[in-house]
Structure 1
Amino acid sequence: MKVLTIPVTPFQQNCSLVICQQTMRAALIDPGGDTDILKQAIEEAGVTVEKLLLTHGHLDHVGGTASLAEYFNVPIEGPHEADRFWLDQLPMQASMFGFPPVRSFEPDRWLQQGDEVLVGQLTFQVFHCPGHTPGHVVFFQADSKLAFVGDVLFAGSIGRTDFPQGDFDTLIHSIKSVLFPLGDDVEFVPGHGPNSTLGRERRSNPFVSGEFG
């Protein structure tokens, strides 16, 4: 598997282009905006996008989804249906944050704990990790020991829980009971900022290793 991390939107959200090198099939995880930049990256990589994957329904993670799904004629998979209300509110989110107009949409497939997503010959396990949003999911590629965690966990921090239906205790539970058991050697791509490993965060992240957690 090859992964290209492409920061998009004024929030510098990490959109990931995940590529199956055996088939040159690919997926975009969290295409939040700047669709021309994403199209250019896909063209330069010489891959065929076969689906769009979403960790949760916040604008900076999904703002480019509807237009890209239409452009590439591909399905949208994720997040969990508990984030439907966020997707329904996308036009309002865009107006509130000064983004270009964005239309709401419904994924072709809502995802749940235990589901699998295929990209070429790659298999991604789906984990439901609520707390930042109620329908947040994480994509884990076991062979590569790489997880795409959206806004659940960051290097040295965690996702915000002050949005509607966010909950701090639920988020901490998701990190400790769902993510950390995947293994200390698992690297993760967060929704913002640099990659880290689950082991590094388990040992040093103050929200899950110290006074807060």
Structure 2
Amino acid sequence: MAVFMKFRIIPVTPFMQNCSVLWCEETGHGAVVDPGGDISSILSVAEECGVTLEKILVTHGHIDHAGAVVELAERLGLPVEGPQREDRFWIDGMPEQSSKFGFPAARPFTPDRWLEQGDVVQFGNVKMNVLHCPGHTPGHVVFFHEPSRLAIVGDVLFKGSIGRTDFPRGDFNTLIASIRGRLWPLGDDVAFIPGHGPMSTLGNERRSNPYCGDRCAPVLQDDRG
């Protein structure tokens, strides 16, 4: 029998990053995805929804997605899972990131579990598949819950756009390959929570996204300017 999942999106940090609280309908146990900051807001939503948080999931190592991981993990005694280990240099550089972008001081961390393509993460009775989708960062991962037809894609894909690739070890062609090779096969009906901005569906982006949609010719470089 399928186990369904509920979610709430909490925009955090001055970058309005979409942190998500996910939880199992059957047990009320859940996870926080990408706690970049504003912990009080995250905890308020979890309390309001009656969610018992079990773990922290991280899509990638940018400050707006991972800046509050250490504080939240220590406050609640939560394990951290993700991203993929190629993002270690971003996580190790958390203090420099926080200084550069004007964020509160953030500490590096080592996840309790680095994630790889094909792994499964679980909270309550919910199991989510892990997709390694590099390009925005080399260790970026996506979380997909098949019964709910929902993906949490971080900064891989947005409504009408895609993630930046001008940061260290970003690569435009790799990002497009991740989207077309690992997201599109999930199905047009899959809704996704992006790292910023409104939700969309994979089908809508395949039809209309000017950077990675099906009508786009193969692109050899980032031409977004």
Q: Deviations over 1:49-86 (max 9, x none)?
A: 00000000000000111000011101000000000000
Query: SS at 1:127's partner residue?
Result: strand
Q: What's the offset of the Cα at 1:211?
A: 5.3
Partner of 2:154: 150
Q: Give the RMSD, CA atoms, in angstroms.
A: 0.9
Partner of 2:47: 43
Moved over 4 A (4+): none
Q: What's the offset of the Cα at 1:40?
A: 1.3
- Asked if residue 17 in structure 1 is aligned to residue 21 in structure 2, the reply is yes
1:180-195 map, 5 Å: 180-195=184-199
Partner of 2:181: 177
Aligned match for 1:72, one of 72, 76, 98: 76
Q: Return the alpha-carbon distance in structure 2 between the equivalents of residues 64 and 212 of structure 1.
A: 38
- Name the aligned partner's letter for residue 186 of structure 1: V
- Is there any run of 5+ residues in structure 1 with no aligned partner, and where? none
Query: SS at 2:212's partner residue?
Result: helix
1:1-213 map, 5 Å: 1-209=5-213, 210=216, 213=219
Q: Deviations over 1:95-136 (max 9, x none)?
A: 111111111111000000000000100010000000000000
Q: Return the alpha-carbon distance in structure 2 between the equivalents of residues 140 and 196 of structure 1.
A: 14
Q: What's the offset of the Cα at 1:42?
A: 1.3
TM-score (norm 2): 0.93
Q: Is the 8 A contact 1:206 1:212 kept in 2?
A: no
- Name the aligned partner's letter for residue 164 of structure 1: P
TM-score (norm 1): 0.98
